Structure formats: C-alpha cells, structure tokens
A = this chain, B = another copy of it.
Amino acid sequence: MPGGADQTLIPFLWRAERLYDDTEIVSRTHEGRVRYDYADYADRARQLADVLSADGHGRGDRIATFCWNHHRHFETYFGVPGAGTQLHTINPLLPDHHVEFIVENADDRVIFVDPSLVEKLEGPAGSAAFDGVEQFVVMGDTVPDTSLSPVTDYESYVAGGDPGYEWPDIDEDQAAGMCYTSGTTGKPKGVEYTHQMLWAHTMTTLTPQGIPVADDDAVMPVVPMFHVNAWGLPFSTTAAGAKHVYPGPSPEPADLVSLIEDEGVTVSAGVPTVWLGIQQYLQEAEGDLSTLERVIIGGSAAPESLIRWYDQEHDVEVVHAWGMTEMSPIGTVASLKSGMDHLDYDGELDKRTKQGMPVPGLEMKVVDDDGNEVPWNGEDFGELLVRGPWVTREYFERPRATEEEFEDVPASDASGESEEQHSSGRWLRTGDVVTVDEEGYVDIVDRTDDVIKSGGEWISSVELENAIMAHDDVAEAAVVGVDHDTWGERPVAFVVPAGDVDEDALAGDIQAMIEADYPKWWRPDAIRFIDEIPKTATGKFSKMTLREEYGDRVHVQDVPEDAAPEAEEE
C-alpha cells in the first residue's frame, strides 16, 4: 500500500532546528539558570545520540533517567529515542524496592542521574538488580563523591559526541519511551511508547481542543518529566517551535513565579498542589502572572475555588485534563466547547471542573458490569474504556495484567480479507468509574476498586465521602464496601470527628443528610468512628488498609426492603 513515511519524533526536532533555530530553551539547574536555543539543543541531542551509538547502544536498549525537569533531561528526550534507543524515565520518588524492580525489569543500560538524587539512587544501585547498568552519568559537569560506578559527568560524556551525527532511520513501531505505572497493589507495570504513539499524541494535543501550543508560546512543564513525559509537553512544544522553560530541581513557588515573570511563560502544567502553593505564595508576596494564559491541571482534580481564583485574580485559564500512563497520557481536556453560550459563569465552572471531553482521535465508552454502555446523562455511571493510536495495548512483560486491563472486542471485518485481530478492537479498562453528561464531559466519580456494588447497582464511595465531609463536625471520612450475603457489598463509613463531638448524634446527622440527597440504598449500613484514615505513600486514602483492618469486624445489618436497589429502580 502507498502509505506515507513513518511517524517518528525526529522530524519535529528537524523542523524546530531549521525554522526556530534561535528560539530559546531555558532551564533552572543546580548551577543556576541556563539558556540556549534550538540550534544548540539539536547539536547536543545529536552528540548524546552519537555517544550512545558509539557505546554500542541501539534498538532494544533502554536508557534511563532519574532526574528533575531541566535542559539536560530534555536533551535525552530526543537524543535517546533519536539514537534508536528507548528513554525510560524513572520516578525518583518511588521506594527503593520499586526502583530496583523496574531497573531490572527494564534492563536499563545507562542511568542519567541528577546530582541531588545521586544519594537516593545509591541505595537501590547497590543491589544485584543494577548489575546490567553499564554507566551512570551525573547531570552536571562534575562527579560527586559516590558509590555509583562506573560514573562520569554529563558534560564530559556528551563532549565526545559529534554534533553532526546523522539520525539513523527509525521505524514508527520502534520503542521510544517507557514509564512505569504504580497501582496501590502489586509491582509497577511498564508501559512502552512507540515513536508512532508519541507522534500521534503530540499531534492530538496540538489541536485546538487538546493542549495547543503555538510558536509564540513559552511553555513551562512543572509536572515532572518522569510523569509520562511531562504530559508530552516537551514533544509538543518542540513540534510547535515554541520556547521551553524548565523549572529544575524542587522548585519553590517563588522560583516558579520568578520563571514566569522573567521568561514570559504563557502555558504551564502541573498537579493541583503546585498551583495551590503558588496561590498561597501570591497571597503574601508580589508576583506578576500577566503573561500566563493557561495552566493545565491534571493528576488529580483541582478544587473549583482554585480555578476561580486564577481566573478572577490573574486572568489565567485553568484547564483540567485527564489521562493515564497507559495513554501517553492525555485522554480528555475540559475546555469549553462551542454552543455553551447559555451557561453563566458558575455553569461554565461546572463543566471546567470535570475531566473534560475526549481529544480528537480517541474513542471512549462507559460500561456497566454487564458491558452495556450507560447513557450520557450525567447521572448513570460505569467504567470508562478508551482506545486510540496513543493508548497502549499491553503492559511490558505482564501478559496477565494485560489480559485483565484490556478488553478485546470481536472484530467484525466486513471485507473478510484481514486475518489478524485488529488493534483498534482493543479497549483499555481505565479503572475509573465515571459519568458523562449530555455535552460529553467526563466526570470521575470513583475507582472501580473503590466503587461499591450493591444489589447489582453501583454506589460511588467518593460521593458519599464528600457528602459526609461536608458536615462541620467531620474532619475526614472514607467509605468502603464490605461483603454482604444478600447484596454482595454494602457501604460502611469510617469517620474522623473534628474534635470532641457526640458520635451518636453525628451518625444520625450523617444518615439524615445522605438520605436527603441520595437513594435510600446508598445509606451506609454502619458508621465507624476512628482516629485517622490510613493513607498511601502518595497521601491518598488507603481503602485497602481499611478493608483489611476493619472489614471483618464491621457488623452489617440487613438493609430494610424499601432501601433495596430494585425497590428504588422503578
């Protein structure tokens, strides 16, 4: 067939170098602020690729980073895949045993590590899991005292490379990147990104309803570059020929505001915590966000008050986005679509606090337990399934996890010519329980692991928690499903009171509040008061711990007939 050239990352860099040779790449680093342009950048990326090639690394070899966001890390973004090798960005916040597991699992050959992370890496690097690592490269121009070996500094390492290195011919199916996703249970799962997946992801994010970057933008990814390629921004910013601004190691709000002011940042991106931090900082200190037009927030939901504050105080549009490691990562973006002129400001905020609409090229569906699609009415919920050219079809060397989290839909090939199962038939089960409203905005209401399945119907633990936490006397609350003979599962609430309160009265209040707003069968069968909700390493409620610790000790009463799901249904 007459198909076109392979979809690889290199033409994006070629274009930036030729059309935007003097556009800047600016980086806060351990050594201060560094700036150069695309012409310099391309030379250095080629030098890096040349050294990797000369050292015998090629297709199939994984090259890892253990770094914050800076220009040298960005050099690996094109230098490593450009050499035909695969960039594996390791999350330095992982516990040591996870780092050991993934370095061994990925068989990393070279590890680039930040000076401030050398000590953190030394622990796992002492294990046999690191036996395959041939070289450690410290991201700077000196080598600190370290047990990592053999070790060199980045500037010496790339100095031997040829800036005139010619990129090898690369296949679009060749692996370009890799990230591990860590669930609450089990070992991290590897997700590989081919050149084609990153190409397609770059393109869809550049469309008006993605996270468009134009050549006159200055883009500062605060989201770590080890979190799914900083949501693809280093690639899309290059494809657009825009300016890059990297905030370096552990940036404080003052550092970020200073970069925005000095470098004219127009687009930035990060988790809500970052923007809450800047908000707090700016409520006490001076700061000029006038160049900043858009802030992309993902990772977890931003409070409505945050969106409102940036909008009203600084004329900065906060754009909610949702994605997954398995999705390269963007899936939905909560920009306002056409035909929403009837909404007032609060109505708009209501849309903008949701996870948003699928970007062009993605398909999604929401299914109930039986696999039937639920209607887009903003109320019915089910698990979100997605597929698209930048959604992976498997986990790295994890056939069982792949089988569990992907769903093959039987192909109905009209032509009869095709013999293999088409890739487009494979849906990723996101594990998110969502509603979709009439306008197509996705709203995550729970994780499938946490949703409570009672009498064939789903109850959102997150909604119940929010309802309970709205009570003034409640500090924290978590709702989990516990086994029940008749209904399968029933909700039980764990509540941390705010101070010294009458627990019986509070329990009564809570039940009354829930009964007023939700179906009767959503009412928790028991309310347990505890001192603290157990948390995961990343600060989320650990419902697994709650179930393990309390599950069999909670006495669940039979639910009255009139509160059963079936009775409510008709």
Most interface-central of A3, A216, A338 (chain B CB within 10 A): A3
Which stretch (A313-321, A409-417, A492-500) binds chain B? A409-417
Q: Given A206-B207, A360-B15, are A192 and B2 neighbors across the interface (CB < 8 Å)?
A: yes
Nearest B residue to A414, CB-CB? B168
User: What is the bound-complex CA distance between A532 and B470, given in angstroms?
Assistant: 87
Whether B396 contacts A2 by the Cβ 8 Å rule is yes
Stretch at the interface among A197-205, A292-300, A521-529: A197-205
A-B contact pairs, 26 of them (CB 8 A): A1-B174, A1-B192, A1-B194, A2-B175, A2-B197, A3-B393, A4-B200, A4-B387, A4-B390, A4-B393, A11-B362, A15-B360, A19-B337, A19-B357, A58-B414, A59-B414, A84-B414, A171-B422, A199-B361, A199-B389, A203-B207, A207-B207, A207-B212, A207-B240, A212-B212, A242-B338
C-beta contact mask, A397-428 vs B, less than 8 Å → 1, else 0? 00000000000000111111110001111100
Q: Assess the A423–B200 pair: CB atoms within 8 A.
A: no
B12, B174, B358: the one within 8 Å of A360 (CB): B12
* A2 touching B393, Cβ below 8 Å: yes
Task: Give the interface size class of chain A.
Answer: 35 or more
**In the complex, A83 Cα to B414 Cα: how many Å?**
8
A426 to chain B, nearest CB (A): 7
As a 0/1 sequence over residues 1 to 37 of chain A, the CB contacts with chain B under 8 angstroms (1 = contact) are 1111111100110110011101100000000000000
Is the Cβ of B200 less than 8 Å from the Cβ of A209?
A: no
Is A166 engaged at the interface, CB distance under 8 Å to the other chain? yes
Q: Of residues 163 to 210 in A, which have CB atoms within 8 Å of B's CB atoms?
A: 166, 168-171, 173-175, 191-194, 196-197, 199-200, 202-204, 206-209
Instruction: Report the copy number of this chain in the oligomer.
Output: 2
A388 within 8 A of B: yes
B206 lies within 8 A of A208 (CB) = yes
Q: Which of A196, A388, A392 has the most CB of B within 10 A?
A: A196
CB of A253 within 8 A of chain B? no
Interface of A is mostly: loop
Question: Restricting to A350-402, which residues have a CB under 8 Å from any CB of B?
Answer: 357-358, 360-363, 376, 387-394, 396
Measured CB to CB, the closest approach of chain B to A299, in angstroms, equals: 22
Would B4 and A196 count as touching, CB distance under 8 A? yes
Chain B residues near A191 (CB-CB < 8 A): 2
Known: A59-B417, A339-B22, A361-B11. A3 touches B196 (CB 8 A): yes
Max count, chain B CB within 10 A of own CB: residue among A22, A169, A376: A169
Q: Which residues of B contact A376 (CB under 8 A)?
A: 18
Give the shortest distance, in Å, between A106 (CB) and chain B (any CB): 13
Are the CB atoms of A7 and B361 closer together than 8 Å? yes
A168 touches B412 (CB 8 A): yes
CB of A216 to closest CB in B, whole Å = 4
Q: Is the CB of A416 within 8 A of B11?
A: no
Which A31-63 residues have a C-beta within 8 angstroms of B?
53, 58-60
Q: Measured between C-beta atoms, what is the minimum distance from A430 to chain B in Å?
A: 15
Whether A5 contacts B192 by the Cβ 8 Å rule is: no
With A207-B240, A208-B213, A376-B18: A5-B389 Cβ-Cβ less than 8 Å: yes
| A81 sits at the interface (CB 8 A) | no
Residue A223 CB within 8 A of the other chain: no
A230 at the interface (CB under 8 A from B): no
Question: With A58-B416, A414-B58, A418-B171 as given contacts, are A423 and B361 in contact (CB-CB < 8 Å)?
Answer: no
**Chain B neighbourhood of A20, CB < 8 A:** 337-339
Please, which residues of chain B bring their CB within 8 A of the CB of A328? 4
Does A92 belong to the interface (CB within 8 Å)? no
Query: Which residues of chain B have C-beta atoms less than 8 A from A169's C-beta?
Result: 411-413, 418, 422, 424-425
Q: Is A252 an interface residue (CB 8 A)?
A: no
Residues of B with C-beta under 8 A to A360: 11-12, 15, 202-203, 206, 239-240
Bound CA–CA A191/B1 (angstroms): 11
A241 contact set on B, CB distance < 8 A? 209, 337-338
Q: Contacts of A239 on B, CB cut-off 8 Å?
A: 207, 360-361
Tell me which of B22, B415, B422 contacts A58 (CB under 8 A): B415
| A58 CB contacts on chain B under 8 angstroms | 414-417
Q: How far is the CB of A210 from chain B (nearest CB, A)?
A: 9
A215–B208 CB distance below 8 A? yes
Do A84 and B415 touch (CB < 8 A)?
yes
Contact, CB under 8 Å: B208 / A5: no
Does the CB pair A2–B194 fall under 8 Å? yes
- What's the Cα separation between A423 and B416 when bound, in Å? 27
What per-residue 1/0 map shows which CB atoms of A117-159 lie under 8 Å from chain B?
A: 0000000000000000000000000000000000000000000
Q: Give chain B nearest CB distance to A167 CB in angstroms.
A: 9
A209 touching B214 by the CB < 8 A rule? Answer: yes
* A415-B60 in contact given A208-B214, A338-B23, A360-B15 (Cβ < 8 Å): yes
Could you say which of A208, A357, A413 has the most chain B C-beta atoms within 10 Å of its C-beta?
A208
Residue in A2, A169, A357, A393 whose Cβ sees the most chain B Cβ within 10 Å = A2
Report the nearest B residue to A6, measured CB to CB.
Answer: B424
